[in-house]
Structure 1
Amino acid sequence: MKIEIWSDVACPWCYIGKRRFETALAAFPHRDSVEVQWRSYQLDPALPEHYDGTELDYLSTRKGLPPAQVTGMFEHVAEQAKGEGLNYRFDDVVVANSFTAHRLIHLAAAHGQQDAAKERLLSDHFEHGRDIGSGEYLASLGQDLGIDAGEVDELFTTDKYAADVRMDFEEGRALGISGVPFFVIDRKFGLSGAQPAETFASALNQAWQESQPLVMVGAADAEPGKAAPAGEACGPDGCAV
């Protein structure tokens, strides 16, 4: 079973959604048969590489939201994050364009480190005030993930993985995704937002049941062209005698 998650590393609900999804997946009996793929999405593609201001400035100025409303939103989101063991520090968030960070996630995926890269970027952005648009920071993260420095350098000297990131954007739009996080299971089930872990668990179970067709015991022993013999059972018209 494949689960694709459209997400932005500059999205606070995406980190909360990641934790809640992971809680559900950890308790899922068939978790070893689940493939998780992180897909790129940008909430604000037009954001400069670095924004000269705080997260509060950014949302109140560029998005036109009253500062008091933004502060209230920060408090609510931080409280929800705390419930998932996350320590959001919005006053320390460095506002930066996430496009190159998404390219690093694609590079990390080629080395089997996609989830580790996603986790670090989200944590460093919201909990540790790191600059996710900084080449120096991204190079350091690549080193921590065990990726060759030359490959990471290509992110800053070429457009490597840029087409892959844009393809994620296009596929998301084709699926009708207009906000993140957004979870797609086997391209059949969609869940929008940081749903409770119980909702993710229910979706996983439903998707698994639909992906695993019922196999009748004894069918392999039936004669060619004939159904497997049925045992005694009861039905609307009574029970077998």
Structure 2
Amino acid sequence: MQAIVIPQPWANDLVLGKFTEIDLAVTTQASEILLVSGNEEVSGEYALGLAKGYALGILRVKSITPTATGFEWVLDSPRLVAPFAVATDADLLEVDDALIHENFPATVELEDWMAHPGEAFPPALQTHADALLAIGTQQLPSDYQAILTATNGDWEAVDAAWYEHEYAAQAAILSSLSDEEFAALQVQTDADEWAELVAARALLLKGTKDEQGND
């Protein structure tokens, strides 16, 4: 089966149906494609704990349209597969069909979850997600593994450390603003970005309080 390699976190978002369109440099005649997560991450995008270099699922190739820089793919109807490692040495690969085993119970639950995306994962889907998280955790850089170990598995501490590392200047500003000053930013920010800022500031402030409590 043909496989397409997509970096994280876009690969994870595609297989969860969070978006369906993506611009790629390659094209195919296949009606279905195996989605493989790349070993590289999208710069500036949070991908800690997401399995890299693994087959994630099968998607229907709804359409591929040439663009000025490549091709716009529209993908839908994700079906989950038992994750297995894939050598990601090209953007478009051939993968042995014998290696591909669909996880039908998790896929059924994924379809229901996609219709109610704010809800918690149901059991089979959660088990599938936990298996991928275990892979992603093993792939964490050593400094983040150390944080996870020191905090007894507190992913919020990992999130806060990543944000502070990636956006040190922004992190310093967010941490220093008063509640009133921070609230004033909302009128300059779209809804999605505002939600991210609120979550990031909460993590940073939590980290500051934890450090003060340990002093």
TM-score normalised to structure 2 length: 0.32
Query: Computing the radius of gyration over CA atoms, which structure comes out larger, 1 or 2?
Result: 1
* Greater length-normalized contact order (CA 8 Å, ≥ 6 residues apart): 1
TM-score normalised to structure 1 length: 0.29
